């Protein structure tokens, strides 16, 4: 059974940093592109970032470019999101999701999310 379990969320002050993790199991993690998607409280889904299967290529939404870094450790079956220079508007539940290869843009499995709250 495919499982994605996010962790690392919490309360952080504006300007602070946080690293999210997503532990994957039940599939060959190293074969799949992965995504981060966020959802602010009461709001819609917003795509954040994606990384290819071996970590060579990454892409970001304009709103996080230069502040967030996506990475992965295929030996540990884990996806990461390093978030720096956090802003109040980054407050959201952050989901990791598996790419539905070979199509583009769709994701077939999601974790339950981890809440990041940016507040002073």
Partner 1 sequence: QSALTQPASVSGSPRQSITISCTGTSSDVGSYNFVSWYQQHPVKAPKLLIYDVSKRPSGVSNRFSGSKSGNTASLTISGLQAEDEADYYCCSYAGTNTVVFGGGTKLAVL
Contact assessment for residue 107 and residue 100, using Cβ atoms and an 8 Å cutoff: yes
Cα angle, residue 37 at apex, residues 71 and 34 outer, rounded to 5°: 40
Q: Which residues inside 37-56 make contact with partner 1, applying CB under 8 A?
A: 37, 44-47, 50
Cβ–Cβ < 8 Å for 6, 22: yes
**In whole angstroms, what is the distance from residue 19 CA to residue 65 CA?**
16
Number of residues that bind partner 1 (CB under 8 A): 24
> Which residue among 5, 23, 61, 115 contacts partner 1 (CB under 8 A)?
61
Is residue 72 involved in binding partner 1 (CB under 8 A)?
no
Residues of this chain that bind partner 1 (CB under 8 A): 35, 37, 44-47, 50, 57, 59, 61-63, 95, 100, 103-108, 110-113
């Amino acid at each position: 059974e495919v499982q994605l379990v996010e962790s690392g969320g919490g309360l952080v002050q504006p300007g602070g940093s946080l690293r999210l993790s997503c532990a994957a199991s039940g599939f060959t993690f190293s074969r799949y592109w992965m995504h981060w998607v966020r959802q602010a409280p009461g709001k819609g889904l917003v795509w954040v970032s994606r990384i290819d299967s071996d970590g060579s290529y990454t892409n970001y939404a304009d709103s996080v470019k230069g502040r967030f870094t996506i990475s992965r450790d295929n030996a540990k079956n884990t996806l990461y999101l390093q978030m720096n220079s956090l802003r109040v508007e980054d407050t959201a539940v952050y989901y990791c999701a598996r790419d539905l290869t070979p199509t583009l843009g769709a994701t077939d499995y999601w974790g339950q999310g981890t809440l990041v709250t940016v507040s002073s």
